[in-house]
Amino acid sequence: MNRIECERPGGPDVLKLATAPHPEPGAGEVLIKVAAAGVNRPDVLQRMGVYAPPPEASPILGLEVAGTIAAVGSGVTQWRAGDAVCALTPGGGYAEFCRTPAAHCLPIPAGLSLSEAAALPETAFTVWGNLFDRGRLAAGETVLVHGGTSGIGTMAIQLAKAFGATVIATARGDDKCAACRALGADVAIDYAATDFVAAAMAATGGRGVDVALDIVGGDYTARNLAALGMNGRLVLVGFQRGPAATVDLTMIMRKRLVITGSMLRPQSHDEKAALATALRTKVWPLIESGLIRPLINARFPLAEAAAAHRLMESSAHIGKIVLTVAD
Ligand SMILES: NC(=O)c1ccc[n+]([C@@H]2O[C@H](COP(=O)([O-])OP(=O)(O)OC[C@H]3O[C@@H](n4cnc5c(N)ncnc54)[C@H](OP(=O)(O)O)[C@@H]3O)[C@@H](O)[C@H]2O)c1
């Protein structure tokens, strides 16, 4: 089969099309004939050599796919060869065939193409697990979503709105702010032109937000804590401005704040399976009703994975980037 290999850590040009034997599904796994694979920022970090895959995971890039089940491993009863699925993968998505646990697959939501469905799993699992499980976002609350036009942000805005929250999003520039509003954000802040803390305070009548979902980290941490109201929760899922932060502990105590976060990839088989179950019951019906849709910015053939990475690193995209692998 064809797959994308990373010759060595480096820029997008280290991504090369190569051939390899197709993988066999192990016990409890399915083998998916990949139609499309989502591109995510962690793929870029892995390619650069700063985000190593877990020891047992495939070293091939690609954390989400959609396609057709080609074979099932022993003990798999919920899927059969020929079923169309989208799936979270432990890596290996940039390939014509990819194996993943059967419990991490979901049906293609009615009305979505395979390439649209390939853009769902990584952001849906991440946002559900962080905004709702860890962040405890509830209807009637206000959430600050940083990077509203990122893959994560586009899913977070839509999910938060669908579950009754008021959404304040940050993004760079007028076009990205307009895109956030089109996705449902009540307020969009151009973080390059406006202090997001002051803007979030103004938008909440000085009360502060209930939850902040952050992909920025670094010096944003103290500012996020300042933007939170009483009993607020800061949920960290990325640290594009660095993993270290200095914060005012008295603010945490005075406002009774919670700082939490998580990484999806190192979580256990069962934790990811529980997320899949929650998504299937709570989120898939909203996708099928048309309330939530993956926003696809660009599609590239598998062989042009380097171009897909160049686009992601330019941050010119709004929404998701997808590799098309087969018709
Ligand atoms: N914890 C997890 O399990 C998990 C899973 C998946 C992804 N992630 C993380 O989530 C983040 C987004 O991933 P993705 O795949 O959605 O990437 P993506 O689509 O490439 O989004 C990254 C976005 O970050 C925005 N950004 C950069 N600096 C910013 C700032 N100071 N304020 C607001 N936005 C800023 C950029 O938009 P602008 O042009 O507007 O700056 C860029 O579009 C990454 O940090 C990734 O590592 C975490």
- Centre of ligand 1 to C-alpha 75, Å, is 37
pTM above 0.85, yes or no: yes
The DSSP-derived string for 85-122 is EEEE-SS--SBSEEEEEGGGEEEPPTT--HHHHTTSHH
Q: Report d(CA 266, CA 4) in Å as an integer.
A: 22
Q: What is the pLDDT of residue 237?
A: 98
Q: Answer whether 215 contacts ligand 1 (Cβ < 6 A).
A: yes
Residue ranges of the chain with pLDDT lower than 70?
A: none
pLDDT tens readout for residues 228-245:
999 999 999 999 999 999
Cα-based angle 52, 97, 59 (whole degrees, multiple of 5): 15
| Domains in the chain: ranges and CATH | 2-120+265-324 (3.90.180.10), 124-261 (3.90.180.10)
19 backbone dihedrals φ, ψ, rounded to 5°: -110, 150
* CA 68 to mean position of chain CA atoms: 22
Q: Answer whether 150 contacts ligand 1 (Cβ < 6 A).
A: yes
243 backbone dihedrals φ, ψ, rounded to 5°: -90, -5
Q: What is the pLDDT of residue 7?
A: 85
Cα-based angle 305, 43, 136 (whole degrees, multiple of 5): 135
Q: Output the CA–CA distances (angstroms, integers) from residue 283 to 1, 4, 175, in the order listed.
A: 33, 31, 28
Q: Token pair of 105, please?
A: 């697959």
- Amino acid found at 269: H
Q: What is the pLDDT of residue 300?
A: 98
Candidates 39, 41, 234: which one to mutate for ligand 1, based on the most atoms within 8 Å of Cβ? 41
- Amino acid found at 305: A
73 backbone dihedrals φ, ψ, rounded to 5°: -85, 175
Contact between 90 and 65 under an 8 Å Cβ cutoff? The reply is: no
Q: Answer whether 147 contacts ligand 1 (Cβ < 6 A).
A: yes
- Amino acid found at 55: P
- Centre of ligand 1 to C-alpha 119, Å, is 15
Q: Output the CA–CA distances (angstroms, integers) from residue 282 to 125, 275, 285, 288, in the order listed.
A: 12, 10, 7, 11
- Centre of ligand 1 to C-alpha 26, Å, is 33
Specify the residue with its C-alpha closest to ligand 1, atom 33. 147
